[in-house]
Amino acid sequence: MSIRLGQDDYLLTKNQSIDVSCDYDALVNVHMLIMGKTGMGKTTFLRQVIQQMERITPTPRIHIMDVHGDMELKGASSVRFSESTEYGLNPFVVSPDPHFGGVRKRVQDFIATINGCRPIGSRQEAVMRHLITDLYAANGFFSNDHKSWVINDSITRKYPKKHPTMDDACRYAYAKLKQVIIGGDTKSGRALEELNRVTTKIYRISKQQSIPGATLDLDLVEKAMTHRSDAKKYFMEYVENLETGKELEDFVKYESKEVLKSIVERFDNLKASGVFKNQPPPFDPNNPVWRYDITALREDEKRMFVEFRLQELFSVALEKGPVRREEEGLLRDIMIIDEAHLFFRDDQNNILNTIAKEGRKFGLGLVCASQSPTHFSEDFFSNVATKVVLGVDQMYWDNLVRKMKIESKLLQYIKPFHVIGVQMSNKGETRSRFTMVRVPNSRVTPA
């Protein structure tokens, strides 16, 4: 199982033609990093790699994230994602794996991803976490019961169980907001708000009076006494007017209407983007190459799209379990990411980092192209087995030399479109050589 890159350039000068290939049985993983200044042929190189990967048997599924619309390949199954298509991703599909999956993990990943694309405040984050967890519970998925994470659990229901969707999240958040606004107008809800207000005042006074050296302020003490009797009155009012018994719980979780309102808006925006839809994309299951045309999405939407799709693929791979010994080297999915600087974050939760570190065991490969060594995360850079240098701007040479532990003079031998630098790390080897490779000058013609 291998793909050919070209011929050893040094040996060519000695009249020996020796092929240089990525031998996936020997390499530590299938991941590949492609680095090249603009116009150096990254996209073209990716297309050539894909054409060879298609010929691997058994054929892995190749997922192309096409950011610019320049990755169309003859025969590939293509789906265009935009605001006006009805296809998209569902970010709320829970993996039933008791160790890796579950509601808490999904909620965490969801928030981390949208946070990485456009940050939300910490109060919003807490409310969003409660909302989604409650939404799951309303759909029969409970964070503390892994048996409930499967769709076909043994409980019989009126309606078939399904994962919640972005539409459901919008409706649920809006219903909660309505409930909190109306709840605040009931006697019990109002009393709770008043109780919160006066206890805050009492707390403030007691803090002022407990500063070392503070003189006793009798006016303040008297005020505190009045607040105390008010607090008692409001507490009685709250208890006497309880209706659902959930008033306190909701008050604690969804205390601020403003925060809840901003979450409703955020969900509405997410729903309006071209990323999340109830209908899964109609890719041809018999075609090994799936091209996700995300040209029409905004930059932050592209980021969300790629992260959520990769999370989905990782989840599915986890469910299938690690690749078994007799299938050693089996490749399930290869993800091709051009313009990868859009998607990398130096963050534990970034899915690209997770796949770089854990993907191999589950048959996943990650192929990423970008312009400079600083565009890739540390995790990716240190885990990727094959690094391909097509030609890097001189201002990054020092950085590259340090990161790849190579001699800087080697970079001078790189001749764009003709000679590229390749470093591969094989199983059982601690050092990896930086080889100059003469590439075949055949271009892949667009479809």
Ligand X SMILES: Nc1ncnc2c1ncn2[C@@H]1O[C@H](COP(=O)(O)OP(=O)(O)OP(=O)(O)O)[C@@H](O)[C@H]1O
Residues that bind ligand X (CB under 6 A): 36, 38-44, 417, 439, 441, 443
Residue 417 interacting entry, from Mg ion, ligand X, none, C-beta within 5 to 8 Å by type: ligand X
Q: Considering beta carbons, is residue 148 or 370 the nearer one to Mg ion? A: 370
Specify whether the CB–CB gap between 269 and 118 falls below 8 A: no
- Region near Mg ion per CB under 5 A, out of 39-47, 161-169, 268-276, 435-443: 39-47
Count CA atoms closer than 13 A to 175's CA, side-chain side. 11
CB of 422 to Mg ion, least distance (A): 19
CB of 107 to ligand X, least distance (A): 36
- Region near Mg ion per CB under 5 A, out of 10-18, 37-45, 91-99, 228-236: 37-45
Q: What is the total count of residues that contact Mg ion (CB under 5 A)? A: 2
Residue 87 interacting entry, from Mg ion, ligand X, none, C-beta within 5 to 8 Å by type: none
Q: Considering beta carbons, is residue 43 or 353 the nearer one to ligand X? A: 43
In the β-sheet with 2-8, what is the strand arrangement from edge to edge?
Answer: 19-23, 2-8, 434-438, 419-424, 386-391, 32-36, 364-370, 333-337, 61-66, 289-293, 77-80
CB of 415 to ligand X, least distance (A): 11
Q: Which residue is nearest to ligand X (CB)?
A: 41
Q: Considering beta carbons, is residue 41 or 116 the nearer one to ligand X? A: 41
CB of 19 to ligand X, least distance (A): 17
Q: Considering beta carbons, is residue 397 or 417 the nearer one to ligand X? A: 417
Q: Which two tokens stand for residue 323?
A: 């690749």
43 forms part of the interface with Mg ion (CB under 5 A)? yes
Q: Considering beta carbons, is residue 42 or 80 the nearer one to Mg ion? A: 42
Residue 116 interacting entry, from Mg ion, ligand X, none, C-beta within 5 to 8 Å by type: none
How many CB atoms are closer than 10 A to CB 89?
22
CB of 395 to ligand X, least distance (A): 16
Q: Considering beta carbons, is residue 27 or 67 the nearer one to ligand X? A: 67
**Residue 86: partners with Cβ closer than 8 Å, 6 or more residues away:** 277, 279
Give one DSSP letter per residue of 207-256, joined into a string: HHHTSTTPPP-HHHHHHHHHHHHHHHHHHHHHHHT-SSS-HHHHHHHT--
CB of 186 to Mg ion, least distance (A): 59
Task: Residue 110: name the closest of 87, 131, 86 by CA.
Answer: 131
Specify whether the CB–CB gap between 384 and 32 falls below 8 A: yes
**ω into 58 cis (within 30 of 0):** yes
* Token pair 């519970």: residue: 137
**Residue 257: partners with Cβ closer than 8 Å, 6 or more residues away:** 177, 180, 181, 184
Q: Considering beta carbons, is residue 116 or 373 the nearer one to ligand X? A: 373
Residue 36 interacting entry, from ligand X, Mg ion, none, C-beta within 5 to 8 Å by type: ligand X
Three-class secondary structure assignment of 92-156: CCCCCCCCCCCHHHHHHHHHHHHHHHCCCCHHHHHHHHHHHHHHHHHCCCCCCCHHHHCCCCCCC
Q: Which two tokens stand for residue 384?
A: 């990727």
- Rounded distance, CA 96 to CA 141, Å? 10
- Rounded distance, CA 348 to CA 173, Å? 28
CB of 344 to ligand X, least distance (A): 16
Residue 443 interacting entry, from Mg ion, ligand X, none, C-beta within 5 to 8 Å by type: ligand X
Q: Considering beta carbons, is residue 355 or 392 the nearer one to ligand X? A: 392
Residue 40 interacting entry, from ligand X, Mg ion, none, C-beta within 5 to 8 Å by type: ligand X
CB of 67 to Mg ion, least distance (A): 9
- Rounded distance, CA 342 to CA 110, Å? 18
Q: Which two tokens stand for residue 250?
A: 């909701």
Residue 441 interacting entry, from Mg ion, ligand X, none, C-beta within 5 to 8 Å by type: ligand X
Residue 44 interacting entry, from ligand X, Mg ion, none, C-beta within 5 to 8 Å by type: ligand X
- Beta strands 386-391; 419-424: pairing state: antiparallel
Q: Considering beta carbons, is residue 44 or 426 the nearer one to ligand X? A: 44
The binding site for Mg ion (CB under 5 A) comprises: 42-43
